[in-house]
Amino acid sequence: MPNTVKVYGKAQSRTALGIANAYLVINPDVTLEELNKAFPGDLNSANRCDTIFVDVNDAPKFVTFEGKSTYEMFFFEKEDEVLTLKDGQKVAMQQLWQKEDFDKLVEWVKQYNIEVVECKPIEGFQKGGFTLEYDADPEVVAAPVAAETESEPKAEEPKTEEPKTVEPKAEEEQAEKKKKKLWWLLLLILLIIIILIILLMRGCGCTRQQQPVAAEPAQVVEPVAADTVTPADTVEAIQKNFNAAQFEAAKATLTESSKLVLNDLAAMLEKHPNVKLRIVGHASSDGTAAFNQKLSEERAKVAADYLISIGVAADRIQTEGKGSSEPIDKENRERNRRTEFIVVE
């Protein structure tokens, strides 16, 4: 197994998932209990429970609203995202990571010889991803790493290995693994061929035409209003986790860390198209009341314009400025230079 692992990621949450996979590569025999000891729950202030990792069968109970599980908003729950331990147990990891918590996580894992080389921001509604880079012991087969989404793989330097004697048992295991990889490759090729055939048939009008049927009177279908209700967990998540877009003194320019926060907010809005926001800008007590009022309005508009530029519909966003009338910390003026996001529908 490798002594050190380097992580290259896109988006904070996906890079955090890459860190967890890197830990499994170094410690392939770890249990769920040991995993949570290695990553204490207080590393993530947005936790939905006391631990960062939970069994996938237990995760939904932490985020159930009116009988409906919404845990996919808070845990990595897809097949290529969950962690599989050596005993076969499937583990879900907390998904929401604010910048302050993410930076703390990056420092924490240095003690385990895990280095986060880069964490690139995403644009629009792109998904993040990660790749791992390490030099494995040629006599040990490393644990598989979770599949990436859209991150670009790092090129590795070619290695020269001296020939060695391979035991018959190891030879059989390697042959079996090659067979499995070949089987999956053939299945993927077959699936691609089927999809291409279907697309070609649709494009040339070769699909079977339906027989004409007698026209029936049009029926009026009442619209279903179920999707217009915003889950309480969604409102809580937005107001708790994304009111963190900060500004420099006397400026309405977004910082790079604020853009990362707004990227994650845009991804959540895509999952819940019925949610509308009011963005409220605030200023510190520096300057005159008139100047601070105008500055707070500009900060709200800058945050709204950025969300619209990465794909959020303009009619889902309202803006408002409150000057320096509502400070959240009279001792720390920097915290008062902010925007807040309020769910209005």
pLDDT (tens digit per residue) in 109-163: 999 999 999 998 887 666 788 999 988 654 443 444 444 443 443 444 444 444 4
Task: Return the percent helix, strand and coil in the chain, to nearest 5.
Answer: 40, 15, 45
pLDDT digits (tens, 9 = 90+) for 174-188: 777 777 778 888 888
User: Which of 136, 154, 172 marks a domain boundary?
Assistant: 154
Q: Enter the tokens of residue 220.
A: 């009026």
Highest average pLDDT, of 46-50, 64-68, 80-84, 152-156, comes from 80-84
Q: Which residue has the higher pLDDT, 327 or 206?
A: 327
Structural domain for 278, as ranges? 228-343
Residue 311 falls inside a structural domain: yes
Single-letter amino acid, residue 26: I
Domain-embedded: residue 326: yes
- Do the domain assignments include residue 207? no
Confidence (pLDDT) at 228: 45
Question: Which of 6, 146, 125 has its CA nearest to residue 76?
Answer: 146
The per-residue DSSP string of 225-261 comes to -GGGSPPHHHHHHHHHHS--EEB-TT---B-HHHHHH
Q: Say yes or no: 260 and 126 in one domain.
A: no
CB 336 within 8 A of CB 284: yes
Q: What pLDDT digit, counting tens, does each position of 259-312 carry? A: 877 888 888 888 888 889 888 888 888 889 899 899 889 988 988 898 899 889
Mean pLDDT of 87-101: 90
Q: Is 211 part of a structural domain of the chain?
A: no
Indicate whether 250 pLDDT > 90. no
CA 78 vs. chain centroid, Å, equals 12
- CATH code where residue 253 lies: 3.30.1330.60
